[in-house]
Amino acid sequence: MESLRSQIVILPIQFAIPDSMIMDSNLSYASKSRHMSCMVPGKLGTYVCPDETSYYKQYNESAFAITKPKAGNDCLRHYEILAAGSIPYFIDIEKIPENTMHRFPKKLVLEARAVADENPFNELRYNELLSELRNYTKKHLTTKALGEYFLSETSKGIDVKFSNRKVLLISSSNRLDYQRGSISHGLFEILPKDCFHVYNYPEWLFEDTTNPYLYTKRFSLTGKLPKTRHDPKTKEEIIDNLSREEYDTVIIATTAHYSGYIQDFDEVLRKHVPKNLVIIIGHDGYSYTKEYTKKFVKNSYPTLWKHITHIFVRELRD
């Protein structure tokens, strides 16, 4: 099966938060200890929380918390603030393209920023916004919701339930990465143990991780999946599964240009083309038009280009 390049579907994708991180306390302005969180992005002296519990607690006790774009527009901090039961005071949110962070509630958060600055303060509207944002977060911003979005967008021509899909994610690295981590976490939650495999296994997503490549304080995504879900496959097992065409969808998830990691799978993917061959571009610091996305992917994966069906882009400009 070959896809026509003109028919490649280009879609946005974004970060997400495990639903287990969504807090149930201090859900009104009267219950907050402070109007604005003491933590200010970029000011290291305000990073005073030594662990995840205190990190979420200080957000939970704050009516608002400052956030802004980081290495890209998307940043896990935006979701952590919402999960903690606070409202992001989002600097420059109005400058973010429509298809970047496409499911993030930009209009509500923009309104909330105006409410934060009002004098006199509108406590009633604050409480309404907090409730709306909490419900929206539960419905649209969890890792499970992200996994469901991905499976829905790649379901054309696959006449099986989500729980019966068989998906392989080929990752460029097993190091902590929030885009690969968000989608992997969601698919681990939705799909049965024998239906979702990962090459360059994200050990850091599981309880009691010993992954040496963690560069954060292990907050939010790290260590949240149960060890019972842990089921790494060898490269040889994955190639054998590919040759038997066991996967309906193969994802190539990368944060860098084409590199040697995919070469181990190049031949078998060309001989045994899955129904969906998907690229996920989760780069920091890039803003892609759809036209540039096609050029980038064609240059990065020249031998697989004609088989690619979908491209999901984190920082999609148009």
- Partners of 34 in the beta sheet? 62
The token duo for 232 is 């790494």
The DSSP code sequence of 169-213 is: EEES-SS--HHHHHHHHHHHHHS-TTTEEEES--GGGBTT---TT
The token duo for 42 is 């970029």
Output helix, strand, coil percentages for the chain, rounded to the nearest 5: 40, 15, 45
318 residues of the chain, pLDDT tens digit each: 444 444 899 999 999 999 999 999 999 999 999 999 999 999 999 999 999 999 999 999 999 999 999 889 999 999 999 999 999 999 999 999 999 999 999 999 999 999 999 999 999 999 999 999 999 999 999 999 999 999 999 998 888 888 889 999 998 888 888 999 999 999 999 999 899 999 999 999 999 877 655 555 678 999 999 999 888 999 999 999 999 999 999 999 975 544 556 888 999 999 999 999 999 999 887 788 999 999 999 998 999 999 999 999 999 998
CB atoms within 10 A of CB 307: 18
pLDDT of residue 5: 43
Residue 269 CA from chain centroid, whole number = 25
Q: Does residue 216 sit in helix, strand or coil?
A: coil
Residue 232: is the preceding peptide bond cis (ω within 30°)?
no
The token duo for 48 is 């005073």
* Integer angstrom CA distances of residue 261 from 254, 258, 277: 10, 8, 16
Domains of the chain by range and CATH? 5-13+144-313 (3.40.50), 19-141 (no CATH)
